[in-house]
A and B are shown apart, each in its own frame.
Chain A
Amino acid sequence: MNKIFEEYAIQLKNQKLFEMEDIYQKHFPEFVPFFQKHFQETCENITKMQKAGRLGEISYLEYTLLYTNMLQKKETAEVRIYDNNWYFGDKQQIVNEFDFSALFTKYHELSSELMAYRKRFAGEASSQEIQSFLFSCIRPFYCYIISIFRYSILPCISKEPFLSIQRTDKFEINIGEYMGYTEAIYKENKKRTSEDSLAWFSLRREFEYAFEDFSGLDFTGADLSEIDLRYSDLRNAKLTSTDFQDSMLFGTRFCNANMKEADLRYCLIHEADFTGADLSGAKFTAAEAHAGVPNHNKWIITGYQRVSFRNACLKEADFQRTYIQDADFTGAVMDGALFQQSQLTHFELSPEQMKVINIVS
């Protein structure tokens, strides 16, 4: 491929990914029902198959992007299910298809603009080379589908038809490629105990706890400082007075957890989900969070969603000297929560919330 053309292609890919980022940030709530509806439909298919005896317990459910489909201009992911032998078992089945073409508009634009630009180079960039380049761009665009799914899944797993699916003790929902790059968006482990988990936490592994299921476990008063709990599932966990100081809590799911007096000082909490959590007296001093991407020079990952404190109890929580931006405080109880005057521009608090917080200079 001609060097000038290659540079143009890379720059255009970057531009289209940032345009996709804008769509993702602005229209995210509109995508959620689309994904949830499809997931419900998939669950219905699975339960029907299980009731008919055509399918046993499942261990993995995957939304699989197929390059072989992309080659045929078919932008559909296959929803495949597996037993506990995963790819090595002979019980793989396709239970649904997911058409993501509506979310690939920026990829379509990249493709058509590159093909049009190619004409200027009189044969120096072959259509195969462009195809090869375009295929290398599929994964970053598909990352947006992974991200939307990740944030759409939680309401679906707490209700039917998902609850009726016969699942093994360890169960995962993954999104990604076939026997390639995949991300877990939800994991279940019915056998995990608080004691096992604390022993594992003591090893302070990096990223190993991501999407792992610690929901409902009791870590009251535990020392979980300087730990990497990115995207871990701590919903409904008992975390009273738990020490999370200096921890990485990107995307951690704390929904409805009991986090009274929890110490979250110096934590990174980008896109963490504290929906419905009891954070009375929690300390957020110097904690950091923001939505979107840190810079617009080079696209690296999908931008963060807003950290959510929706319907959380933040009575007397300490937000002094935090670097939290774009947080969602809708419905949060904030009586006596402590803020600095200079920070208030970063927070979208309702007039009612403004009346009950404590502001220090």
Chain B
Amino acid sequence: MDYFLLKQIGTISIPKEKEHNQEEPSVRIMENISSLEKFDYLAEEALFSDRVKLLLEQYLIEEDWRPCTFIEPKKQEQKTFWFLPPLACTPDNVVFASNGIPCSVTINEEAFARKSSGIFYIPNPKGTPFVIVHMSIAESILRRGFCGLGFNRLSTDT
């Protein structure tokens, strides 16, 4: 039989979760906080909403997330977004198209397979960093029915 009768035989101890560093939140005062409801990603600073964080945490288990809290003092309301944590992988080379968007990355696949969680940044000289995800993560997100995210395939040179 593949079934077990569950019973208690002492005090139940639960393994400690990894202690995440409680990062200081960045606080922003704003008006009309409800306008943020429409957004899951604020590209300017790579900020993610709670629900997208919940999704990305599945792939970034070890990373610490720093909160960014938006406050509307008049209404006494607040909404938290999250900065994408610093991520280890750095591509060997990135080619940008004429519109400034990355079109190709060169990655040491062996190092990537061993070290990376499958998500990394490419710094953007003009400001907003570009978030790159491995195909395994893009596929995983889409087959779970998450919509509203776009994925443009980059060419790779290994």
Please list the residues of chain A having a beta carbon within 8 angstroms of any beta carbon in chain B: 66-68, 70-71, 87-90, 92, 128-129, 131-133, 135-136, 138-139, 177-180
Contacts and interface: CB of A to CB of B under 8 A. Distances in A.
A68 B154 CA distance: 12
Chain B CB within 10 Å — which of A66, A67, A131 has the most? A67
Main secondary structure of the interface of B (DSSP, over half): helix
Interface stretch (B47-55, B77-85, B121-129, B142-150): B142-150
B148 A68 contact: no
B113 interface: yes
B146 to A, nearest CB: 7
A178 B150 CA distance: 18
26 contacts: A66-B135, A66-B139, A67-B138, A67-B142, A68-B138, A70-B142, A71-B142, A71-B151, A87-B136, A88-B113, A90-B109, A90-B112, A90-B158, A92-B109, A129-B147, A131-B147, A132-B146, A132-B147, A135-B142, A135-B147, A138-B143, A139-B143, A177-B143, A178-B139, A179-B136, A180-B140
Interface of B: 109-110, 112-113, 135-136, 138-140, 142-143, 145-148, 150-151, 153, 158
Nearest to B2: A206
Contacts of A179: 136, 139-140
A136 B110 CA distance: 33
Contacts of B146: 132
Given A68-B153, A89-B113, A90-B109, A177 B147 contact: no
Given A90-B110, A90-B158, A136 B142 contact: no
Contacts of B136: 87, 178-179
Contacts of A88: 113
A67 B153 contact: no
Contacts of B113: 88-90
Given A131-B147, A135-B147, A68 B109 contact: no
B148 A128 contact: yes
